[in-house]
Structure 1
Amino acid sequence: MSEQANVNEHVDEENEHGQPIDEDSDELDQEDFGPFTLSTPGDWTAKRLGDIKRLITRGKQPTYADEGVPVINQECIYWDGWHFENLRYLDQDVAEDWKDKYFPQKGDVILNSTGQGTLGRAQVYPDGERRAIDSHVTLLRTDDKLSPHFHRYFLESHLGQALLYSMCVNGSTGQIELSKTRLDLLPVPLPPLEEQRKIASVLYTVDRAIQKTDEIIEQLNCVKTGVVQTVFRRGTKSHDTFQTTGSGEYPDQWNLVKFENLIEDTRYGTDNKSNTDKDGYPTFRIPNIVEKRITTDDLKHTPLTHDELERLRLKEGDILVIRTNGNPNYVGRCATFSNKEEPFVFASYLIRLRVDESRVRPAFIREFLNSQRGRSEMSGWVRSSAGNYNLSVGAIERFNVPVPPLDEQDKIVERINDVERSIRVNERDRDRLQRLKQGLMQDLLSGEVRTHDTDIEIVDEVLQHG
């Protein structure tokens, strides 16, 4: 059975009641843990972690070496899985003197122990490989009453994170760390072990579906990179002959044109002070240029005279280019404007390009400027000053742009759009799965929705880890 099929069999995100498993849950009991209470169904129990632990230990701070025994650090542990590509190393001879408790066993829960936003990320140790843990990582090993995968998902849940941060953390913001002593006091719900495994299996299956969707998105992004490179170098038609310039190869049938000969108008945006009171006209700024799109999120407004509005008002097909930023990777990024009912203008950190559409499509210019080929052409014109990187109108006008016939420009844009549509579809699927997972964790880990009388296959990974 595929993991996606397993998700669809056991959870139905779209049912009208919003209940993905069995709604027939028992009435919840309140279990007291000092100032905290944990709500559990009648046949669940709850224990403090210290009552069911076999080992809770922080790692040891190593003197890192270029090779030797791998050392797990906080960059190895994310909610989306293990990132062993971030392992560091401890000299083999030094590692011989380290105690066994610093080397995880298969099925241990490994938890990040320091730093706001980092602290609390957890994964189940997946194998028997000999790796050490450093002093910013905590190892949790419990008895057979607690499934490691169930425990790890409880720690990821809103309740688990809230309890962890409220009960087990020392220090001030940014310098916080887990207290091993307080971890002993952390309450953990204990459904019957079979039910723990069913819950963990459902969540694990959704996680695997998310990971597979992420892999598809990553592959599609690689495809997109290849498509963009190809269409701006070889075109979309069967071209036989090519010419080479300083910025790359392109078909002989294309024209290499100075950008100034393709532009009808270039203009810097307004430097009038914008506001959040909606006084004036909606104004696009750098944060509104996102992944080749212009967003209307967090819009500010700017008062303008009638003449200023006439000069700065955007029209369908106008291209907005980021002209200055502290990060050189942002300079030159651009997006095309689609017609809106109300007048929109733009701020001084942006440049408006209005092209001659009888010669070039705005969408083609947008794709070119955002491509590796366009970025390469642009790089020689970006200047650094006082910690910022800047691109002027005069520099843009000097760009060399390879210009295909209009019908081929359309095909180039469409080919890129096809790949991007596939990426967006998969991103929506991933977002849907992530929302589903959050809802399932809320329902299943609290006992509000039960799996005890539901036929759920326990996945091998959950069963192997206890």
Structure 2
Amino acid sequence: MSEDASLNDFTDAAEVEETHKGCEKELFGLGKIPTDWSIEPLSDIATIVQGNSPPSSTYNDKEEGIPFFQGNSEFGHFHPVADTWCSEPKKEAEKNNILISVRAPVGDLNIADRNCCIGRGLAALQPGSINGLYLYYNLTERRSWLSRLSTGSTFKSITKGDLQLLNVPVPPLREQRKVATILYTIDQGIEKSKKIEAQLDQTQKGLIQDFLTRGLQESETVKTGTKLGEIPSHWEVVAIEDILSDEEYSFTDGARYSLSSDEIQESGDARAILLEEVREGEFNDSSPKFATEEKYNEITHRAIYSGEVVVAKMAEPVVRACIVPDTYEKYLLGCADVVRIVPNDEIEDRFLMYCMNSHKVWRQAVAHLRGTGRSRINLENISELYIPKPPLSEQRDMVSILTGIDQQIENEQEYRNNLQRLKRGLQQDLLSGTVRTTDTNIEVPDEIAQHG
């Protein structure tokens, strides 16, 4: 299976034999497993290396020695990123070792893509009589159970002894490799999708900067004398306060009417917009919160409507903006740090959003940040920020191009969500033996076989 395989290819590869016959052995954390699988203590199938932090005097950022990791917070999936290196490591993990976090958060897992130094927050598992990738996926499926093994009232941790006693279901090696191949192929598709989305995001940011400097037609530019820098000579420079609608409360935040924790509910009549909902060009609806109809009616002047622009007063980044989607019928400003901006008919809502998310506006806003903890900009300073004002026809043409990239990003996210759902279902079935790969023609690539 190649990295370029489609979702259909992943699904085809996963069409494996499903059977419940012989599932008589019971394993805590996975349930019943097939009778032809063995159950082995982790210490019998892998060497466990407990991390030990070297003296701080051996740390460096000049890439002298080998990468040093304290915990899995430094890791992306299969892609360790080192900020610190160690010239005299005490404990090392080898390439393809499984790295497991033994301190909070307990049970986070990754795979070393090179030799590295590991601190006391990590342990390395050197696979012996088992395919390393199969073991990795088996442990990820039982991560929450591993976390429950941890002890300590303030700092949760597990010991090498805890790991040694962990029982692992072990299918025949040929089946281990096939299971690992299916899950690894899906993971590669997920990683590729993330890279494509990142590339699209960078492309869009570059286009926004170019559009707001030279326009669509590479127009003659003039210096504005503001932090906007250069803009096309036929555009105007306006402040946010100059482009507001005459509608009452067209520029307002949730100050003095913020919802208390008791007023924020898991369900209700009006969707409450909190700070975490406002991302750069994206409304985050992963954990929706609501206000009651009674509260909505009480502060209707803080209502927001789909298609409107909302802006964050707090970093990071400050003045990031998104469009309110049409998912819910009613929306309400839920906190003081979210601002509603309704422009007049000379500014497109989406053009305003792209302006707010541009470097040209951001560098104005950061000069106004105040606060010793989580810094924020106030409403008055937002009203004074400058944006370029092209003719409406140009605004719409730019929005059309940028919205097209937004749609590509959304499609990529949906594709990745499908892969993640597919993986979650398959991982549970494959690692418990509910679904078998015994009689399937799955080609095992070298990158799987090298793990054992």
- TM-score > 0.5 by shorter chain: yes
Number of the residue aligned with 2:432: 446
Contact map agreement 2:270 2:293 (CA 8 A) in 1:
yes
Q: Is the 8 A contact 2:273 2:335 kept in 1?
A: no
1:202 matched to 2:182? The reply is yes
Query: For residue 460 of structure 1, what is the aligned residue in structure 2?
Result: 446
Preserved contact between residue 254 and residue 404 of structure 1 (Cα < 8 Å):
yes
Q: Which residue of 2 aligns with 1:39?
A: 32
**Structure-1-length-normalised TM-score:** 0.82
Task: Please give the root-mean-square deviation of Cα atoms over the aligned residues, in Å.
Answer: 3.2
Letter in 1 for 2:137: Y
Q: Is the 8 A contact 1:317 1:336 kept in 2?
A: yes
Q: For structure 1, which runs of at least 5 residues remain unmatched after alignment? A: 14-18
> Which position in structure 2 is the counterpart of 1:267?
252
Q: Which residue among 393, 408, 423 is the counterpart of 1:437?
A: 423
Q: Compared with structure 1, are the counterparts of its residues 441 and 79 closer, same or farther at alpha carbon in structure 2 (3 Å cutoff)?
A: farther
Q: Is 2:359 aligned against 1:372?
A: yes
Aligned partners of 1:7, 1:314: CA distance in 2, in Å? 38
Query: 1:254 pairs with 197, 220, 235, which one?
Result: 235
The structural deviation recorded for 1:230 is 0.7
TM-superposed CA distance for 1:31, in Å, is 4.3
Say if 1:342 and 1:84 are closer, same or farther in 2 by CA, change over 3 A. Answer: closer
Are the equivalent residues in 2 in contact too, given 1:320–1:351 (CA < 8 A)? Answer: yes
Letter in 1 for 2:59: A
The separation in 1 between residues aligned to 2:298 and 2:122, in whole angstroms, is: 62
Q: Which moved more, 1:298-307 or 1:196-205?
A: 298-307
Distance in structure 2 (CA, Å) of the matches to 1:368 and 1:255? 14
Pairing partner for 2:59 from 62, 65, 70 = 65
Is the contact made by 1:31 and 1:46 (CA closer than 8 Å) also made in structure 2?
A: no
- Secondary structure at 2:230 match in 1: strand
Deviations, residues 263-317 of structure 1 (Å, cap 9, x unaligned): 23433446346424789866534344344455672122475798964x4444565
Equivalent residue number for residue 189 of structure 1:
169
* Structure 1 CA distance for aligned equivalents of residues 360 and 434 of structure 2: 55
Q: How many residues align?
A: 435
Superposed displacement of residue 88, structure 1 = 2.3
Q: In structure 2, which of residues 410, 432, 436 is the aligned counterpart of residue 424 of structure 1?
A: 410
Q: Counterparts of 1:41-120 in structure 2 under 5 Å?
A: 41-53=34-46, 55-63=47-55, 64-66=58-60, 68-73=64-69, 74-75=71-72, 78=75, 80-91=77-88, 95=89, 102-116=91-105, 119-120=106-107
Structure with bigger gyration radius: 1
Name 1:161's counterpart in structure 2. 143
SS in 1 for 2:191: helix
Deviates more, 1:424-433 or 1:290-299: 290-299
Corresponding position: 1:26 with 2:8: no
Q: Give the partner amino acid of 1:164.
A: L
CA change 1:20–1:242 in 2 (3 A) is farther
| Worse-superposed segment, 337-346 or 388-397 | 337-346
Q: Give the deviation of 1:115 after TM superposition.
A: 1.1
Query: Residues 298 and 343 from structure 1, CA distance in 2 versus in 1: closer, same or farther, beyond 3 angstroms?
Result: closer
Note if contact 2:238-2:387 (Cα within 8 Å) is conserved in structure 1.
Answer: yes
Distance 1:143 1:81, change over 3 A: closer
In structure 1, what is the Cα distance between the partners aligned to 2:38 and 2:299? 69
Correspondences of 1:122-141 after superposition (within 5 Å): 122-126=109-113, 129=115, 131-141=116-126
* Range 1-10 or range 186-195, more displaced: 1-10
Alpha-carbon distance between aligned partners in 2 of 1:279 and 1:2, rounded to the nearest angstrom: 46
Aligned-pair distance for 1:352?
3.1
Q: Does the 8 Å CA contact 1:272/1:303 hold for their aligned counterparts?
A: no
SS of residue matched to 1:401? strand
CA shift in 2, pair 1:238/1:120, >3 Å: same
Q: Which whole-Å deviations, capped at 9, do the CAs of 1:5-27 have from their partners, x for residues lacking one?
A: 387446349xxxxx742224533
**Partner Cα separation in structure 2 for residue 321 and residue 219 of structure 1:** 25
- Contact kept in structure 1, 2:80 and 2:113, CA below 8 Å: no
Report if aligned partners of 2:10, 2:185 keep a CA contact under 8 Å in 1: no
In the superposition, the TM-score normalised over structure 2's length comes to 0.84
CA apart distance, 1:332: 2.4
- Cα–Cα, structure 1 residues 183 and 412, in superposed 2: closer, same or farther, change >3 Å? same
Residues 49/343 of structure 1: CA separation in 2 closer, same or farther (3 Å cut): closer
Q: Contact 1:7–1:202 (CA<8 Å) still a contact in 2?
A: no
1:150 aligns with 2:134: yes
